[in-house]
C-alpha cells in the first residue's frame, strides 16, 4: 500500500516538474523559442540585399527643374569664370609674334616697357571689341583687363622697383592711359582709317619716335578684327584664336 502511494506521488511530481517553465525540463522549450526567426522579435526586419542595378540609380531632374538650374547657371557662372576666361584670352593677346621684328625693328619703336604696354594694349583692345558682342562681355572684358594689369605689375616689379607706392602710382597712370587708348581706338574704328591711324600714332609712338608702317598697322588691325568676328565666342574664350603676324 505504501509502495503504491509512493509511486503515485513520484508520477504526479514528475508531471508537475515538466509543466513548470523554471525547471530543467523546460529548457528545451526556451531553446526552441530562441531559435525562432528574427522577424518574430524585430519590428524592423532587415531588408534583403537589393540588386546592384537598383542600388545605383541616377537622380534625374524633371525638365522644368533642369531648365531652371540652367538659367541660374547662365546668369551667375560668368562672374566666377571671368578671371579664368580673361587669362585664356590674354594669353593670345600677350604672345603676339611680332614685338621684336615688327614693332621694334620695322617700326623703330624702342624696346621698353612702355612700348610693350602700348602694343599689348592694341591687341587687348581688339579682343575686347569682339567680346563686346557677347551678353557676358562685362565680365569677360573685366577679367581680360585684370590679367593685363597683373602682368604689367609683374613686369614693373621685375624691373627692380620694390616700392609699393611707386608701383601703385605707376599702375594708376597706366589705367588712365589704357582708358584713353581704348576710347581713341574705338572712335577711329567706328569712323575711318585716317582717324584710326591717328589714334594708333598717338598711342603707340613715343614723343621722340617715328613709326614707318602706319598703313600696314591699320590694315592689320581691321584684318584681325574681321577674323575675330568670324570666330565663335566659345572658341575665343577657350583659347582657340591666335593673332596673325603683321605682313608688310
Model confidence pLDDT, tens digit, residues 97-113:
677 788 888 878 888 89
Distances (CA, A) of 64 to 60, 67, 70, 74, 117: 11, 5, 10, 16, 49
pLDDT tens digits along 18-28: 555 444 444 44
C-alpha cell at 232: 565663335
Would you state the pLDDT for residue 72?
Answer: 58
Decide: 196 and 218 in contact? Cβ < 8 Å. yes
> Lowest-confidence range among 171-175, 206-210, 225-229?
206-210
Which has more confidence, 208 or 200? 200
Decide: 99 and 65 in contact? Cβ < 8 Å. no
* CA–CA dist 185, 217 (Å, integer): 13
For the chain, give percent helix, strand, coil, nearest 5: 70, 0, 30
Q: Considering all CA atoms of the chain, what is the largest pairwise distance in Å, rounded to the nearest integer?
A: 150
Instruction: For residue 36, give the DSSP letter.
Output: S
pLDDT band at 124 (very low <50, low <70, confident <90, very high): very high
* CA–CA dist 95, 123 (Å, integer): 10
Would you state the pLDDT for residue 33?
Answer: 43
Decide: 98 and 116 in contact? Cβ < 8 Å. no
| Type and span of the H or E element at 192 | none
Calculate the average pLDDT of the chain: 76
Which has more confidence, 96 or 241? 241
Segments in 22-163 forming alpha helices (H):
27-34, 52-55, 63-94, 113-131, 137-158
pTM for the predicted model, two decimal places = 0.67
Decide: 120 and 93 in contact? Cβ < 8 Å. yes
Would you state the pLDDT for residue 61?
Answer: 60
* CA–CA dist 142, 175 (Å, integer): 13
Q: Which of 34-38, 65-69, 147-151 has the highest average model confidence (pLDDT)?
A: 147-151
> Please, is 83 exposed, middle or buried when counting C-beta atoms within 10 Å of its C-beta (0-12, 13-18, 19+)?
middle
Question: Does 174 have pLDDT greater than 90?
Answer: yes
3-state SS, residue 239: coil
Would you state the pLDDT for residue 222?
Answer: 93
Question: Does 126 have pLDDT greater than 90?
Answer: yes
C-alpha cell at 203: 598711342
Please give the share of the chain, as a percent, with pLDDT higher than 70. 65
Question: Does 152 have pLDDT greater than 70?
Answer: yes
- Distance from the first to the final alpha carbon of the chain: 144
Instruction: Please give the average per-residue pLDDT across 48-71, as a whole number.
Output: 60
Distances (CA, A) of 48 to 42, 45, 54, 55: 15, 9, 13, 12
Residue 149: which of 129, 167, 131, 128 has the closest Cα? 167
Amino acid at each position: 500500500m505504501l509502495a503504491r502511494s509512493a509511486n503515485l506521488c513520484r508520477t504526479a511530481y514528475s508531471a508537475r516538474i515538466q509543466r513548470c517553465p523554471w525547471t530543467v525540463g523546460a529548457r528545451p522549450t526556451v531553446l526552441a523559442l530562441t531559435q525562432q526567426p528574427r522577424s518574430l522579435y524585430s519590428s524592423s526586419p532587415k531588408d534583403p540585399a537589393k540588386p546592384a542595378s537598383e542600388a545605383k540609380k541616377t537622380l534625374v531632374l524633371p525638365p522644368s527643374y533642369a531648365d531652371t538650374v540652367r538659367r541660374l547657371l547662365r546668369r551667375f557662372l560668368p562672374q566666377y569664370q571671368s578671371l579664368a576666361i580673361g587669362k585664356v584670352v590674354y594669353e593670345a593677346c600677350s604672345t603676339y609674334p611680332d614685338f621684336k621684328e615688327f614693332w621694334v625693328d620695322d617700326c623703330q619703336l624702342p624696346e621698353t616697357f612702355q612700348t610693350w604696354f602700348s602694343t599689348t594694349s592694341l591687341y587687348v583692345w581688339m579682343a575686347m571689341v569682339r567680346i563686346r558682342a557677347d551678353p557676358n562681355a562685362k565680365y569677360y572684358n573685366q577679367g581680360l583687363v585684370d590679367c593685363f594689369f597683373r602682368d604689367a605689375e609683374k613686369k614693373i616689379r621685375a624691373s627692380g622697383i620694390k616700392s609699393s607706392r611707386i608701383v601703385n602710382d605707376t599702375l594708376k597712370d597706366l589705367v588712365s592711359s589704357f582708358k584713353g587708348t581704348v576710347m581713341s581706338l574705338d572712335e577711329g574704328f567706328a569712323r575711318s582709317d585716317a582717324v584710326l591711324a591717328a589714334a594708333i600714332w598717338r598711342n603707340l609712338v613715343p614723343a621722340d619716335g617715328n613709326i614707318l608702317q602706319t598703313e600696314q598697322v591699320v590694315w592689320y588691325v581691321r584684318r584681325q578684327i574681321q577674323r575675330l568676328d568670324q570666330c565663335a565666342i566659345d572658341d575665343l574664350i577657350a583659347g582657340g584664336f591666335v593673332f596673325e603676324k603683321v605682313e608688310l
